Amino acid sequence: MKATSPGWARLFSPAVALGALGLVSGACIEVPAPRPKEALSLKEVKVSEGAGLELSCTPTGVEMCFDATDNNCNGVLDEGCGLHTGILQFTIAWEEAEADVDLNVYDTSGELARVGEPTLDGLTKDRDCPRMNGECQGQNVENVFLSEGDPKRGRYRVVVRLDKLNGATAPLKVRLGVRVGQRSYGMAMSLAPGQATEEVELKFTL
């Protein structure tokens, strides 16, 4: 067998190999850890005159269906009631079955969320009552949610509008529930026919 030359032996000795590894590890660049994501919060909130948005939940409550409220303070509106939810969720509920109230939510680009048609930001509407025959089952609720992922930062606009009373008595009591991350907010309003009283608007920035 041919003997290995002393020069090659020194080149591949354990000491030399460890030294080479040390040079490689010492040359590695430290990559800083990614910054933690900023918690979602409402900023620059603006509502129609006479309306107010407030943190709203009941820590020891039992979740109720179709009241647009986070009754048990877990950040989800009307959970277990057949409504979709997401890290962003907007829900309205009103009292009289014959009335038609619309929940219009516009994403950061100004696109309106529609039933079965997600916006580019991922907002979609999954309940439009009382127009969808059979689906509402006598309950008056409309719901818009972020279908997946993180919400896009920017300006959002929410409009709650009385479309038709259809024999219901005015003013009509309506409640808007808003979920942003793990926080829930609520707004109570009374709507009646007329330019100044038929809709309430909420704007905010994420």
- Encode the chain (206 residues) as per-residue pLDDT tens digits: 545 555 544 544 555 444 544 544 455 566 555 555 667 889 999 999 989 998 877 676 788 887 888 888 877 887 777 788 889 999 999 988 889 999 999 999 999 999 989 999 999 998 788 765 566 766 789 999 998 889 999 999 999 999 999 999 999 999 999 999 988 999 999 999 998 899 999 999 99
Structural domains in the chain (count): 1
Is residue 26 in some structural domain?
no
3-state helix, strand, coil in the chain (%, to 5): 10, 35, 55
Is residue 37 in some structural domain?
no
Alpha-carbon distance 43 to 177, whole Å?
17
Predicted pLDDT at 192: 96
Is residue 52 in some structural domain?
yes
Q: Three-state DSSP class for 74?
A: coil
Predicted pLDDT at 201: 98
DSSP alpha helix (H) spans, the chain: 6-11, 14-27
| Residue 117 belongs to domain spanning | 43-205
Is residue 7 in some structural domain?
no
Match 């014959």 to its residue by tokens.
98
Is residue 90 in some structural domain?
yes
Integer angstrom CA distances of residue 123 from 19, 52, 116, 129, 151: 57, 24, 10, 18, 9
Is residue 84 in some structural domain?
yes
What is the residue type of 85? T
Is residue 103 in some structural domain?
yes
Predicted pLDDT at 121: 95
Alpha-carbon distance 40 to 84, whole Å?
20
CA dihedral 81, 87, 88, 93 (to 10 degrees): 20
Alpha-carbon distance 70 to 175, whole Å?
12
Is residue 56 in some structural domain?
yes
Residue 105 CA to chain centroid, in angstroms?
Answer: 11
